[in-house]
Amino acid sequence: MARPQPQPSKTGLSSSKLATERLHKGYARSMEITKVLADERSQYQQIRISDTVANGRVMTLDDIVQITSRDESAYADMLTHLPMLEHGKVERVMIVGGGDLSIADEALKHKGVKEVVLVDIDGRVIELCKKLFGEINAKAFRDKRLKLEVADAFEYLGRKSSRNRFDLIIADRPDPVGPGKALFGETFYDRIKYALRKGGYATFQTGVPFYQPWEITEALEELSCFFPRSGLYLTVVPTYIGGYMALSWATKGGKPLGTKAGLNRFAWDMRVQGPVHVPKLAMWHASTLGPVAIPGQYKARLTVNGKAVTQPIEIVANPNVKLTQAQLREQFDLAMAVNRELSEVQNAVLEIRQLHEKLAEVRKEANGKDAIVQSADALDAKVGALEDKLTQKLSVANEDPLNFPIRLNNQLASLALTVGTGDNPPTAQARQEFDDLKAQATSLLAEWNQLKSGDLAGFNTQIGQAKLRQITITPHVATGI
């Protein structure tokens, strides 16, 4: 059972009978140990398994508690059974990490499951847990449906054999530091999507909100770039410091996790779908909301089990607004045109970010092949120069736009705010500004498409000849209504 794992405490164990965990800065807690059953360093981490007075059998990795025999079910059950019950027909499950097999044990309780693939980078954790946590995982180890892979889960997800393979992927991951960094971020979620079947679900350990609120924010922002439907739910694991533990979810075409049968309410803010979202990007005087729908007749469509039911909806004009329907339509049409252009630019920014990350992977896999590394560097630099024209990479915090000039996406988002504010027909200046920005976007997007079809295609040929995995770029999806 994975826990957030910061850098190991310098003090480690405070005595032979008292284990002290310092997971969060300025806070510590201790467990009284009755017997140390294993204490060794693997290739990746310090593994310690002990019997304790209050928490049963406990495993720590680098002095951070991962699992206790007393409350492991509060974590494993919630990551596993909720998505499996929501899906209803899960056959193939992948577990990222989870070397103690507590999650595998829960998944295998479902009779319809044909295969559970557990991929953990540290084989020694699996061996010690098989020996010392039999009360939790003995049945799982005997089950012929279980397949154990001692491998890098990030690499495993990207294999051709993983494509559209799994109905459920459970990321029992550590904190985003050291080797665990690969199990966070856009490239990881891209690979999760690649390995999921249509209608499949993925669930993720996402930290403790009380001490790690940023981890939740970043995970939800990044998930929204790849999955139209994603969200968060909570569990309580008494051993884990900080109260509630956050678990995030995403689905590749399934219904939202936790949807109840019967009457459900949805409040529409009367906005249409907004542009593709770019996480960790601060903008100045801008809006990335979709335009507000104008008065008129609409239809609400509810689809259940492949059957659709529609219901007419009418948006009535505000009697205080003294504009004609034609004038409102002019405002809406320009707002939509800006929205579409911004979405195209944002999508290019996210694709470029993917390429940066994947080029970094190629450099690692190249193993000293200088020609490939040099080609990767050249392509990275060329793409980076284009990225600088599309977005301000240094603008992350809200005050950053005061220090760094805004780029094309911010200019479009600023125009979207101007056009969409109030009830007014668009001005000639707004139309001219849009024409100018659209011309810039058309030119830069053409340059990006040329890079993909030319430079990237050539680079893929080069790395393919070297037997390295070629780079694919996944288009992003807009979220919203």
Q: Which residue has the tokens 């079947």?
A: 197
Q: Is 475 exposed, middle or buried (0-12, 13-18, 19+ CB in 10 A)?
A: exposed
Instruction: Clarify whether residues 83 and 59 are in a common domain.
Output: no
What's the chain's average pLDDT?
89
Q: According to the model, what pLDDT value does residue 477 have? A: 56
pLDDT of residue 364: 86
9 located within any domain: no
| pLDDT on residue 182 | 60
Picking from 235, 201, 196, the residue whose alpha carbon sits closest to that of residue 84 is: 201
pTM: 0.69
Structure tokens of 188? 């990881």
Pairing between strand 296-304 and 115-120?
unpaired
295 lies in the same domain as 433: yes
313 and 218 assigned to the same domain: no
Q: Is residue 352 part of a domain?
A: yes
Q: Are residues 81 and 218 in the same domain?
A: yes
Is residue 58 located within the same domain as residue 78?
Answer: no
Residue 453 confidence (pLDDT) above 70:
yes
128 inside domain: yes
* Catalytic residue (one of 105, 120, 167, 172): 172
> Same domain, yes or no, for 210 and 138?
yes
Residues 36 and 129 in one domain: no
Residue 29 included in any domain: yes
Residue 135 belongs to domain spanning: 72-251
Report the interhelical angle of 428-450 vs 408-420 (nearest 10°).
Answer: 150
Q: Is 328 exposed, middle or buried (0-12, 13-18, 19+ CB in 10 A)?
A: buried
Residue 11 in any domain: the answer is: no
CB 154 within 8 A of CB 191: yes
Whether 264 maps to a domain, the answer reads: no
- 219/277 same-domain check: no
pLDDT at 243: 80
Is the distance from CB of 93 to CB of 115 less than 8 angstroms?
A: yes
Report the domain count for the chain: 3
Domain presence at residue 215: yes
Residue 184's pLDDT is 66
Beta bridge pairs of residue 148 = 118
203 close to 79: Cβ distance less than 8 angstroms? yes
Q: CATH number of the domain at 40, please.
A: 2.30.140.10
Among 267-281, 401-415, 445-459, where is mean pLDDT lowest? 267-281
The per-residue pLDDT for range 5-33, each reduced to its tens digit, is 444 434 344 445 888 888 888 888 899 99
Q: Please report where in the chains the tokens 């850098």 appear, as a residue.
A: 7
Which of 67, 83, 103 is the last residue before a domain boundary? Answer: 67
- Give yes or no: 77 in active site: no
For residues 329 and 434, membership in a common domain is answered with yes
Query: CA 318, CA 113: separation in Å to the nearest integer?
Result: 55
pLDDT score of 239:
87
Question: How large is the angle between the packed helices 408-420 and 325-366, nearest 10 degrees?
Answer: 160
pLDDT at 10: 40
Q: What is the pLDDT of residues 280-322, one digit of tens each?
A: 888 999 998 899 999 999 998 887 777 889 999 999 999 998 8
The enclosing domain of 246 has a CATH number of 3.40.50.150
Same-domain check for residues 60 and 123? no
* 83 plus 202 within the same structural domain: yes
Contact between residue 418 and residue 430 where contact means Cβ atoms under 8 Å apart:
yes
Q: Please state, in angstroms and rounded to a whole number, the distance separating the CA atoms of residues 100 and 122.
A: 11
Residues 242 and 321 in one domain: no
Reported as a single tens digit per residue, the pLDDT across 388-441 is 999 999 998 888 999 999 999 999 999 999 999 989 999 999 999 999 999 999
Task: Single out the residue in 251, 284, 313 at which a domain terminates.
Answer: 251
Question: CB of 200 within 8 A of CB of 254?
Answer: yes
Residue at 459 is within a domain: yes
With bands split at pLDDT 50, 70 and 90, how would you rate the model's confidence at 176?
low
Question: Does 3 score more than 60 pLDDT?
Answer: no
